[in-house]
Structure formats: C-alpha cells, structure tokens
Chain A
Amino acid sequence: MKQLWEGVFAKNPVLVLALGLVPAVAITTTAMNGLVLGIVAALVLTAAAIINWVLIPHVPANAKLPVRVLVLILLVVAAYSLLLSQNPGFVASLGIFLPLIAFDDLLLRAGDEDSSFSGAVLKACGQGLGFTLVLLVLGIIREFLGLGSIFGRQIVSGALAPLSLAGSVPGGMVILGLLLALVNLVTKRGGELHD
C-alpha cells in the first residue's frame, strides 16, 4: 500500500515530480474537465502499467519507447472511442488534450522500474489518483476564479468580476505555480526544480 499513497502525496506526479503538466495547465478550466481527464488518464495509466510490466522486459532496449507509446496509443484510442460513444460533449470539451495523453511524460513511465506486478499496479493507481486529485483541485480553483462557479453551479455572481485569465493557459500556469509554491510552503520544500 506504500506505493499507492506515495503516488498520491509524497511522489505526486504534478506537485512533486513535475509530470503531466500539459493537461494540468491546459484542460483544467473547469472542475468537470479536470475530473474527467484525470479519471481517463488514471485508467489508461493503470492499464498501461499492467501491459508494460508484462511486455517491456521482452522488448529490446532501443524499441522500448516506441512500444510504450504504441501501447498508450491503443489504450487512448479505445478510451476516446468509449467516451465518444457515451458522452461526445466531454470529447469536444477536452479537445486535443484527450488523445494527447498518449504522449504524456507521466503515462510514458507506466510500469517503469517496478520489480513486482502488484507494486507496478499500486504505483500506477496511486499516481493516477494523485494526478486526478490535482487536476480536480486546479479545475475547482480555475472554474471558481474564471466563472464564479464550481461544477457548473454558480457560487458568486455580480459581486465579483470573473477573472477570465484563470480560464486561459497562461492563467493556468500562474495558478499551478502558486499552488506548487503553497505546497512547498506547507511541506517546507523548494529551492530546486523537481527533476
């Protein structure tokens, strides 16, 4: 269970490892977008970790990256097809960022450096959960600042002018930067770029 909780907190993909930054700044304009993309990414990450754990040890070193990407492409296309048949609105609002998770640096590491099968799955589940949590929090903050609502429900209207910049990618970068600084302040980290 240690691997599971590490992925959520101590080794959170976005807040600690600085992975998955593209969806974090680009798609979290609303809480729902963040939640949906987070869930899809978490499911794809876990499935990729299982497949890679079985497949990758048998692949030559110089072919590992293409094989990892091919596995992700298959899984992402399947997820895209499923989501398109169930809710085309979500596919439209996630735009290019839904298929793009096939090339996300977080998902490309699925099933990496894990000796046991359960370890690989738990790590992927933890990272997926941690990733979804951050995307959800960012989505809530940005939707509240940008539209004055959370999950489409109006919280403030009229009293405060909406900060439309919060809904843009540059605004997302600034908000994620401030969130990271807040996490660093609470956890007493900071000073180095998290490589």
Chain B
Amino acid sequence: MTNGLEVLAQTVVSGNLLLVYGLGLYVLTRYTKNVREAAAAGITVFTGMLVGSVLLWLCAPIIPGSPVPKVGFYLLVGLVAGLVASGLLKQGYKAVDSAVVGLLLLLGSGGVTGVQNVWMALGAGLGFFLVLVVMASIRRRLELAPIPKPLRGLPIMLITTGLLAIALLGFRF
C-alpha cells in the first residue's frame, strides 16, 4: 500500500503529466475558460486514464514483445480507452487525447505492470485534473491583469504554466 501511495504522490506532483511531460496542452488551452469546464475535461481525461490502465492490466498477457507491434498495441488501447471514457461520461469533450495515450506509452516504456498501472493512472489523472482547475483559476485572474498585448492569451498562459511547472520541479522526490 505504501508503495502504491508513493507512486500516487509522485505522479500527482513530481511526475505530473501536464507540467513535467507537457502532455494534454490541447485540453489546457481549450478547456480552462472557467473552473467548471476545466473540472469536466479533467474528469473525462481522468476516466480515460483509468480505463486505459485497467485495459493494460487485463491485456498484460497479450502485449506484444517486439517494439513496433507493441507501439501499435498501446495506441489502440489508448483509442479504445478514450472512446470508452467518452461514452461513459457522454460529454462534449472527447477523451481521445494525447494525455491518455501518453500515460499508457509511459507506462509501457517504464515497464510498469499489474496493479501499479492503476495506481499510476490514478495519480496522473488526479494531477492532470488539479492542474486544469488551478490553471482555470489563474486564467481568470490573468484576464483582468494589465498584460502587454503581445503576451495576452496563449503566450502568457504557456509562460505561467511553465513557471508553475518549474516551481513543482522543486518537489521531486
């Protein structure tokens, strides 16, 4: 259990998918206009990650060994996980996303197996959800701040996300 909780903490903070790997920037730029929208997108991606990790866990015996079929297999699992999550939640936003597939590819390249997949997906999904909600709150403030015109919009958002990520790098453990 301690190991599971450790993995969970690491994936939420020091291994945050969005801040450390840059995965899911499309969701960040499109679905953080307000906290409600960000939370809904976060839940969808979280569900996609969870479904994907469970599928990987269940499909462990049939994961191909050689690199090319293995990559194809992980991409297909990512597609199925995204479609299942979108179908389960019936929201406008589709969970067919680089964050979901990126997590599965990271799990595959890291040799993560069994229930560890689910722990990592829980942490990654929670971390992704939290960053979206935090960034939606920051974006509200940024809209009211006197920012020079060329920096407004996407530039200041990327710079702010980058600075938040640099701050989190200090929590590597």
Residues of A within 8 A of B (CB): 18-19, 21-22, 25-26, 65-66, 69-70, 73, 76-77, 80-81, 84, 95-96, 99-100, 102-105, 165, 168-174, 176-178, 180-182, 184-185, 189-195
Contacts and interface: CB of A to CB of B under 8 A. Distances in A.
Contacts of B100: 103
B71 A99 contact: yes
Interface residues of B, number: 48
B71 A181 contact: no
B157 A177 contact: yes
A184 B158 CA distance: 14
Given A80-B71, A165-B166, A170-B169, A182 B156 contact: no
Contact of A70 (B79, B102, B156): B79
B130 to A, nearest CB: 16
A195 to B, nearest CB: 7
Given A105-B26, A191-B152, A193-B29, A77 B158 contact: no
B61 interface: no
20 contacts: A21-B22, A66-B96, A73-B72, A76-B71, A77-B72, A80-B71, A81-B68, A96-B106, A99-B74, A99-B105, A100-B23, A100-B101, A170-B169, A171-B162, A173-B162, A180-B154, A184-B155, A189-B150, A191-B149, A193-B153
B21 A182 contact: no
Contacts of A103: 75, 78, 96-98, 100-101
Interface in B115-173: 148-159, 161-163, 165-166, 169
Interface in B39-69: 67-68
Contact of A77 (B23, B68, B83, B159): B68
A-B complex: 10 closest residue pairs judged by Cβ atoms:
A173-B162, A177-B158, A170-B165, A177-B159, A184-B150, A174-B162, A96-B105, A21-B25, A185-B150, A181-B155
A21 B75 contact: no
Contacts of B106: 96
Contacts, number: 145
Contacts of A192: 152-153
B19 interface: yes
Contacts of A104: 98
Nearest to A99: B71
Given A77-B71, A103-B75, 11 more contacts: A22-B22, A25-B22, A73-B79, A80-B68, A99-B105, A102-B75, A171-B166, A173-B159, A177-B156, A184-B155, A190-B152
A180 B152 CA distance: 10
Contacts of A96: 102, 105-106, 109
B112 interface: no
A173 B161 contact: yes
B108 to A, nearest CB: 8
